[in-house]
Amino acid sequence: METRGRFTRLAAKLAAGLSIIVEIVLAFLNIQRQANGRENALKVSSVGIRASLYYGADWLIFSFFISTAVLLRHNGVTAFGIFLVLWIMESAVSALILIIQQKVKWDITLGEAYRNSFEVLYSSSRIVAIFVLIPLLLKFILWDGTDRFVVFLGKEANNFPKRTALLLGVAGAKMALWTKAILLGYQSVAELISFF
């Protein structure tokens, strides 16, 4: 009899967890339960299109940044000079994306979608949400665009000076790490080529 009680409690916990996951996904996709299937299908396809556009552009930008850094290093520019160039480029690209997003009123970065999902998770479990938030913000800083980070924290950075400071600070941190990683890669490849 006790086994049945444990199984029932486990099933209830799994159902509650699954329910939260469904709510998080619905919040990310901006799907309303009362909306019809056609509206929801359009929202899902909209997220797919935006994600494809964003990640496609992100890879192109990433390739351009690496090419620029390698070219600058090959021409004798210092690490600090490369950092400054990459920081300016990242800040400009992110600012441009934020301006376009604000003009077209379309969450290109999916930062709002991530925020909606986070808020659903936070309302269910603050501790779990904090543990999810830390790697999520690190992902935004290290890989995703600075623009996604700024949009995600849009409620906290709710005016132009705060958003600008956040954008410049995150872009600076990201490009400091990228500069170091790119130069380490450049040095390793240069040593390998000189070996042959």
Asked if residue 98 belongs to a domain, the reply is yes
Determine the structural domain holding residue 145 and report its residue range.
53-195
Does position 92 have pLDDT exceeding 90, yes or no? yes
Does position 1 have pLDDT exceeding 70, yes or no? no
State the Cα–Cα distance between residues 90 and 173, nearest whole angstrom: 11
Entry pTM: 0.82
Asked if residue 13 belongs to a domain, the reply is no
Overall domain count for the chain: 1
Asked if residue 90 belongs to a domain, the reply is yes
Asked if residue 74 belongs to a domain, the reply is yes
Asked if residue 34 belongs to a domain, the reply is no
Asked if residue 44 belongs to a domain, the reply is no
The rounded mean pLDDT for the chain is 88
Asked if residue 189 belongs to a domain, the reply is yes
Mean pLDDT, rounded, for 109-125: 91
Does position 91 have pLDDT exceeding 90, yes or no? yes
Q: How many CB atoms lie within 10 A of CB 7?
A: 10
DSSP letter for each residue of the chain: -HHHHHHHHHHHHHHHHHHHHHHHHHHHHT--TTS-HHHHHHHHHHHHHHHHHHHHHHHHHHHHHHHHHHHHHHTT--HHHHHHHHHHHHHHHHHHHHHHHHHHT--TT-HHHHHHHHHHHHHH-HHHHHHHHHHHHHHHHHTS-HHHHHHHTTTTS-SHHHHHHHHHHHHHHHHHHHHHHHHHHHHHHHHHHHH-
